[in-house]
Chains A and B, each alone.
Chain A
């Protein structure tokens, strides 16, 4: 493709959407390079945009792959790793210092009101 060099004649076009509704995860193609409905996994000029329906995304939530965290996820105590053994879901430990800042907070809340 040649460069547009700012010519106003060059017209963009929308990325075409194509909705493919899936009812079950088994309807997915087996190849990684293929998306539901047979589109390619890439967006090229004139390519497709991959749109997933909410229900399909929710169905993937309980797949075995989705349950365990990525092996190489950044370790953030209280967020991605236990703040201390056994209290993984609770950010309180490492985030405790935040409470001390509460006094300052009302000032910004006031600013939010002013933003409106």
Chain B
């Protein structure tokens, strides 16, 4: 029974555009999908690793020139294959940041999909940065923070910003107006119970002096 069903399915597929099939990818696109993306454990959504370098006083264009998309992952293995092969944040020089953003959104405040949101910012001792960063990444891709967000809100990214003294960890959300309904800060503390954050607060992107207005494809300042 199962075999004959499978056969008939193949026949349907051969007829042009049956409508309910997955979109057909060209051979080139298929070739570009690496092995881990075909056989790995799927994530709730794709996530994109970004690298940037924040320098005060640069123009938006200059900032964007430093923003680099490292890779977009769709699976747990794909996530690790990137994480395992880029330097730990403690090896980055000051002013550099890693971001892991949901789908392919950029870590830019003013981009349309971000501008209504904001982020929680946690200042932490450099000795703790790597551990907190890893736990934030796992909580994000495992959707462990979704229960801690207000209804209608979601985590849209996590960042680690390497600074001269304490580093800054960030969790981005969609809706600054729903921040009050979130319990994300206590949740983060529960992920790293021994870590002491010297500061932790939320700030909507529009409240930053450097915010340049929605949609304008301008750079963020971290």
B77 & A63 in contact (Cβ 8 Å cutoff): yes
- Tell me which of B44, B80, B165 contacts A49 (CB under 8 A): B44
Q: Which A residues, 5 to 46, have Cβ-Cβ distances below 8 Å to chain B?
A: 12, 14-15, 17, 28, 32, 35-36, 41, 43
Residue among A54, A65, A89, A102 with most chain B CB within 10 A: A65
> Beta-carbon contacts of B28-46 to A below 8 Å, as 1s and 0s?
0000101110111111110
A16 CB to closest chain B CB (Å) equals 11
Residue in A65, A95, A96 whose CB lies within 8 Å of B92: A95
In the complex, are the beta carbons of B151 and A70 less than 8 A apart?
no
Instruction: Return A72 CB to nearest CB of chain B, in Å.
Output: 6
- Known A70-B34, A74-B68; contact A32-B44, beta-carbon cutoff 8 A: no
Q: Is the CB–CB distance between A76 and B146 below 8 Å?
A: no
> Which A residues between 51 and 73 are near B, CB-CB below 8 angstroms?
51-54, 56-58, 60-61, 63, 65-73
Q: Are the C-beta atoms of B43 and A105 separated by less than 8 Å?
A: no
CB distance B96 to A98 under 8 Å? yes
- Tell me the complex Cα distance, A54–B32, Å: 29
What number of residue pairs across chains A and B have CB atoms under 8 A from each other? 161
The answer to whether B86 touches A80, judged by C-beta atoms less than 8 angstroms apart, is: yes
- B80 touching A116 by the CB < 8 A rule? no
- B78/A98 in contact, CB under 8 A: no
Within 8 A of A (CB), among B83-102: 83-87, 91-96
- Asked if B195 is at the interface (CB within 8 A of a chain A CB), the reply is no
Q: Would B138 and A79 count as touching, CB distance under 8 A?
A: no
CA gap between A12 and B87 in the complex, in Å: 42
Q: In the complex, A87→B179 CA distance in Å?
A: 43
Task: Check A105–B151 contact: CB distance below 8 A.
Answer: no
Main secondary structure of the interface of A (DSSP, over half): loop
Task: Output the least CB separation between B50 and chain A (Å).
Answer: 10
Determine if A74 and B165 form an interchain contact, defined as CB atoms under 8 angstroms apart: no
Taking residues whose C-beta sits less than 8 angstroms from the other chain, chain B's interface range is 35 or more
A69 CB contacts on chain B under 8 angstroms: 81-82, 84-85
Contact A60 B80 (CB under 8 A): yes
Instruction: State in angstroms the CA–CA spacing of A99 and B92 once bound together.
Output: 11
Q: Which residue of B lies closest to A94 (CB)?
A: B93
Contacting residue for B151 out of A14, A51, A112, CB 8 A: A14
A60 in complex: contacting residue of B76, B135, B151, B168, CB < 8 Å: B76
**Chain B residues whose C-beta falls within 8 Å of the C-beta of A58 in the assembled complex:** 138
Contact B51 A101 (CB under 8 A): no
Q: Does B163 contact A (CB under 8 A)?
A: yes
Collect the chain B residues with CB atoms within 8 Å of residue A1's CB.
none
Check if B87 sits within 8 Å of A91, measured CB to CB.
yes
CB distance from B142 to the nearest CB of A (A): 4
Q: List 16 A-B contacts (CB under 8 A).
A: A49-B143, A49-B146, A51-B142, A54-B139, A61-B83, A66-B36, A66-B80, A70-B36, A72-B34, A76-B51, A91-B91, A104-B56, A104-B57, A105-B95, A112-B121, A112-B168
Additional 19 contacts, C-beta under 8 A, given A104-B56, A112-B199: A32-B38, A36-B41, A49-B146, A50-B43, A52-B76, A56-B142, A60-B80, A65-B40, A66-B36, A66-B79, A70-B81, A79-B51, A89-B91, A92-B93, A98-B93, A98-B95, A106-B164, A115-B121, A116-B201
